[in-house]
Amino acid sequence: MSAPSPRPDPAAIAWRPDAAFVEAANWTAFIRDMGEADYAGLAARAEADPAWFWDGLIRFLDIRFRRPFDRVLDAGDGPEWVKWCVGGRMNMSETLIERNLALGRGDRPAIVWEGEDGTVRTVTYAALADEAARAAAGLAALGLRPGDPVGLYMPMVPEAVTAFLALARLGCIVLPLFSGFGAEALAVRMQDSGAVACITVDGCMRRGRVVAMKSVVDEAAAGLPALRHVVTVHRLGAKALPCEERAGRDVAWESLVARAAEGTQAVELDAEAPLMIVYTSGTTGKPKGTVHTHCGFLTKTGEDFALCFDLKPDDRLLWMTDIGWLVGPIQITAALMRGATLVLAEGTPDYPEPGRLWRLVQDHRVTFLGVGSTIARLLMRHGRDEVAKYDLSSLRVAASTGEPWDHDSWRWIFDCVLGGSRPLMNYSGGTEMGGLLAT
């Protein structure tokens, strides 16, 4: 048996929160809300009474229920088959949309998106609520019903957020698909899940080149007899990227939303109704679909981001990822759940300029930055001077996931980007968890 790893030298700890940070932290508010004096007391009681902890967390996060649950958990069938929020009725979209409107956040930016060409779009909470409700009505008019799996094959554009919310609103099962997949990979996942529809874009821009996406769906659809509808967002337009339209199957997103006279209310669901199926990467064989529920995904994402990452309503979150990886749905849920602003960017972090990521932080006053070690090593090539060109003073926390850090890239981000004075958190876990462990 190998010897246990030595405890780290306290003098080598890179960052410690000061008293002001601790006092303002969400953790501190939660500990007090739970009636405990400190973290040790909270942890001890949570271990002894998990139901007490999760019930208190759901209340602290202000997760909305149409019908309150009778019991927060039922472990009668064993720990691997715990039932959550037993008897509760809800729809997660109401926590992400209606709750923010009720709190007076309608005029605040929910999404800020920047295209590769520098075009900026801002979507307020009120506008997002309206479009998501109209999109849900349009999708319902196509015949989509609760429990129908629907593919989401899109880059991180505002419509991806709207579509995610609209599908959740209808009780459909969201199937997030990596925007870089080819037709075969798409077909495997849509066939396995039984997808009856797919929402996509005509194409997007990456490093100055047009990347077609609707045509990939068309190719995959040839082997998917269950696929009845393809809804296309025209990101680039017919002049830049003409798309083949199949009568009776293909619908333009723009017309689907516009022709809805009014939006639709969220469908009331069992708290454990499936929200989405996220597929594993397939490194250990055939990709496996992992199911996440309305109450479970909200609660775990809230724990991770409100408590572990201290995300607040005034924050602006930027994490250049993809809707098909778990972080895509997580960041949508986390930002909107906290009433924060989600900053999205088309393309890559180092194009059209090598310091694009830092310029995005500067221009959009990003406070929470997601950055992995691969991106760090890519940007390190341009040196410290490239980082120094930009004002990164808005940042208060950074996080990474999906891969391990090496010492040099971790220190480079911590020292050069965070000034050695703000935390760089690690977010580790797995697709099947729906949330991870922040350290």
Q: What is the DSSP string of 280-320?
A: ---TTSS--EEEEEHHHHHHHHHIIIIIIS---TT-EEEE-
The 3-state DSSP class for residue 351 equals coil
As a whole number of angstroms, the distance between CA 6 and CA 172 comes to: 49
Average pLDDT, the chain: 94
- The answer to whether 253 touches 77, Cβ cutoff 8 Å, is no
Number of Cβ within a 10 Å radius of residue 5 = 6
Per-residue model confidence (pLDDT) at position 438: 55
Helix axes 294-302, 327-337, angle to 10 degrees: 80
Token pair for 52:
């007490």
Fill in the DSSP letter of residue 118.
S
Mean pLDDT of all residues in 180-194: 97
Residue that the structure tokens 């609520």 belong to = 129
Mean pLDDT of all residues in 265-284: 93
Expressed in angstroms, the distance from the first to the final Cα of the chain is: 26
Token pair for 66:
């149409």
Phi, psi of 187 (to 5 degrees): -60, -40
Q: What band does 1 get if pLDDT is binned at 50, 70 and 90?
A: very low
As a whole number of angstroms, the distance between CA 384 and CA 2 comes to: 40
As a whole number of angstroms, the distance between CA 301 and CA 295 comes to: 10
| 375 to 114, 117, 154, 293, 436: CA distances (angstroms) | 19, 21, 21, 31, 20
Fill in the DSSP letter of residue 326.
T
Confidence check: pLDDT of 282 > 80: no
Listing from the earlier edge strand, what are the strands of the sheet with 274-279? 250-252, 229-233, 197-201, 149-153, 173-177, 274-279, 289-293
- The residue among 78 and 428 whose pLDDT is bigger is 78
- The answer to whether 394 touches 425, Cβ cutoff 8 Å, is no
pTM comes to 0.95
Token pair for 31:
């500990």
- The answer to whether 248 touches 120, Cβ cutoff 8 Å, is no
Upstream peptide bond of 176 is cis (omega within 30 degrees of 0): no
Confidence check: pLDDT of 98 > 90: yes
| 212 to 152, 207, 222, 223: CA distances (angstroms) | 15, 13, 17, 19
Mean pLDDT of all residues in 324-350: 97
DSSP H or E stretch at residue 232: strand 229-233
Which domains are delineated in the chain? 16-89+298-438 (3.40.50.12780), 98-279 (3.40.50.12780)
Confidence check: pLDDT of 424 > 70: yes
The 3-state DSSP class for residue 166 equals helix
Phi, psi of 154 (to 5 degrees): -150, 155
Of 16-20, 193-197, 393-397, which gets the smallest average pLDDT? 16-20
pLDDT tens digits along 308-319: 999 999 999 999
- The answer to whether 72 touches 50, Cβ cutoff 8 Å, is no
Per-residue model confidence (pLDDT) at position 397: 96
| 372 to 1, 4, 151, 404, 419: CA distances (angstroms) | 33, 28, 26, 8, 17
Phi, psi of 384 (to 5 degrees): -65, -35
- The answer to whether 210 touches 219, Cβ cutoff 8 Å, is no
Mean pLDDT of all residues in 417-433: 88
As a whole number of angstroms, the distance between CA 382 and CA 342 comes to: 27
Token pair for 208:
């100055």
- What ranges make up the beta strands (E) of 78-194? 83-86, 89-90, 109-114, 120-124, 149-153, 173-177
Mean pLDDT of all residues in 148-154: 99
